[in-house]
Chain A
Amino acid sequence: MLTEDQIARYSRHIILKEVGGKGQKKLFDGKVMIIGAGGLGSPIALYLAAAGVGTIGIADADVVDLSNLQRQVIHQTKDVGIAKVLSAKEKMLAINPELRVNTYEEWISAANISEIIKDYDFVIDGTDNFAAKFLINDACVLAGKPYSHGGILQFDGQTITIDPGKSPCYRCIFPTPPPKDAIPTCSTAGVIGVLPGVIGTIQATEAIKYLLGKGELLTGRLLTYSALRMRFREVPIKKSGKCPICGDHPTITQVVDELDALNVCDLEK
């Protein structure tokens, strides 16, 4: 049952035939885990909170830095120096006080990832390094948990949704992480501030569609975005028989940390 206030708050959702009162209830009963409270995590957390996703987890061990504010729109100047997850939670509850926001002020690792994601319906990767991206893929595939991958750098972004067992996973495209320092990061190569807004909002859309059970998910196709050229492309991706985690003869049967893929900045944290 929705209250009068909830009917008013979500009225623009409720009048959509794909949502309605039932769909809004599904969102309220839904549980989404956001890993990373940075560029991607900011719009994801804000939109999921506004949409009325009832339980949202958010994980990040970092504190807000002045250099984050150009793109991490959930954080404000007054938040510099405080934990990103607490800053994020404050804004999410300010938008929508009815939510349950669970904060995890820690870096994800093989030791905690399975426990962190286990109670959630859908996971969103908003992390900024390959070690975390592969770890999230492995944990979600092994747990059969659907998730949205996102990546951004400079003017380019990419995203794909993984529905384990049914669609190709991140390792079907990229079997192993690149060695650390092989690929520039946002802190070394820069990122245009609006970019995570575009990719993160698509990731939040996927979570909402998944909870509603409506539409087509971004599975089996990697969406790439060039902000400079203002082009979206879809790269069709097939499940790989050689995939080390979801292929015919998987070699990865438990989550492990990809230590070689950690960026130097991660090790310093």
Chain B
Amino acid sequence: MNITVKLFATFRNGRFKMDHQDWPEGVDCRRIVASLGLTEEEIGIVLINGRHVPLDQVLGHGDTLSLFPLVGGG
């Protein structure tokens, strides 16, 4: 099934801004995060179709997954 993956801020470095990817049914956000070479500790906000979800959320065909890094400076 087709998933659109959008990366924000520093996650784009050496990766992409947006990518259309093919994933098997039942894939969750965690598996896609791992495939990007990102660790779970780095992940700030996970959105599916603009809604905040946990990492173990399962995606559906045509979903858009957006990943934002943690921002902790001041």
Contact = CB atoms under 8 A, between A and B. Distances in A.
Do these two chains interact? yes
Interface of A: 36, 38-41, 125-130, 133, 150-158, 173-174, 178-179, 182-186, 189, 191, 196, 222, 224, 226, 235-238
B70 interface: yes
A182 B73 contact: no
B50 interface: yes
Closest 8 CB pairs of A and B: A182-B41, A151-B71, A128-B74, A186-B73, A156-B9, A178-B41, A153-B73, A40-B74
B41 A224 contact: no
A155 B73 contact: no
Given A173-B45, A224-B8, A238 B52 contact: yes
A158 B69 CA distance: 10
Interface in B20-74: 39, 41-42, 44-45, 47, 50-52, 68-74
Among A41, A125, A130, A235, the one with the most B-chain Cβ atoms within 10 Å of its Cβ is A235
Contacts of B69: 153, 156, 183
B74 A38 contact: yes
Contacts of B74: 36, 38-41, 125-129, 150-152, 186, 196
A152 B71 contact: yes
B72 A183 contact: yes
Chain B interface main SS type = mixed
Contacts of B52: 173, 235-238
Contact of B10 (A38, A154, A222): A154
Given A179-B41, A236-B51, A226 B73 contact: no
Contacts of A174: 44, 70
Given A150-B74, A152-B74, A153-B72, A183 B45 contact: no
A60 B41 CA distance: 27
A211 to B, nearest CB: 22
Chain A interface main SS type = mixed
A173 B70 CA distance: 11
B22 to A, nearest CB: 26
29 contacts: A125-B74, A128-B73, A128-B74, A130-B72, A151-B74, A152-B71, A152-B74, A153-B10, A153-B72, A156-B9, A156-B69, A158-B68, A158-B71, A173-B52, A174-B44, A178-B42, A178-B70, A182-B41, A183-B69, A183-B70, A184-B10, A185-B73, A189-B10, A196-B74, A224-B9, A226-B8, A226-B9, A235-B47, A235-B50
Nearest to A131: B72
Given A224-B8, A236-B51, A151 B45 contact: no
Contacts of B39: 182
A183 B41 contact: yes
B73 A191 contact: yes
B38 to A, nearest CB: 11
A157 B41 contact: no
Contacts of A235: 45, 47, 50, 52, 68
A237 B44 CA distance: 13
Given A153-B69, A156-B9, 20 more contacts: A39-B73, A40-B74, A41-B74, A127-B74, A130-B72, A133-B72, A151-B70, A151-B72, A153-B10, A153-B72, A155-B9, A156-B8, A156-B69, A173-B52, A178-B41, A178-B42, A183-B69, A186-B73, A224-B9, A235-B47
